[in-house]
Amino acid sequence: MILLSFALLFMGFAGLSLAMKRHYPQLQPIMEKNSQQRSKQVIIAIRLLAYSCLLTGLFFCINSQGISIGFVFWLGLLTLAALLQAMLLSYRPRWVFGFGLMLLGCTLFSVI
């Protein structure tokens, strides 16, 4: 559950940075080349999706750890996920989504 929630938080942060002016060009090569200009709606949609990822992460934390520890856990995981996201964006921006997918894959694997 913790791994799943971590994967969700990481993907959430990846989504948030994708919706940011500064980081979009860094992540862009793996997106469609001709989507230079993104419409406002797309950005809002990405943001909503990202925030719902973060909240779903909170849900899974609380679900597995109880409300008090779950919340503390969520904050701790948020810190780790954001740190990883920041370091990847600085040094290996292209790995961001690969890493996120890998995390989700690991989660699926551990569930099975």
In the complex, the smallest distance separating the C-beta of residue 94 from other proteins, rounded to whole angstroms, is 15
Dihedral over Cα of 40, 13, 112, 98: its sign: positive
Place of tokens 């950005």: 43
Rg of the chain over CA atoms, in angstroms? 14
Q: Which of residues 16-45 bind other proteins (CB under 8 A)?
A: 16-17, 20, 22-23
| Residue 85 within binding range of other proteins, rule CB under 8 A | yes
Place of tokens 């996120």: 100
Contact segment (CB under 8 A) with other proteins among 36-44, 45-53, 85-93, 102-110 equals 85-93
Instruction: Return the number of the residue (34 or 78) whose C-beta is nearest other proteins.
Output: 78
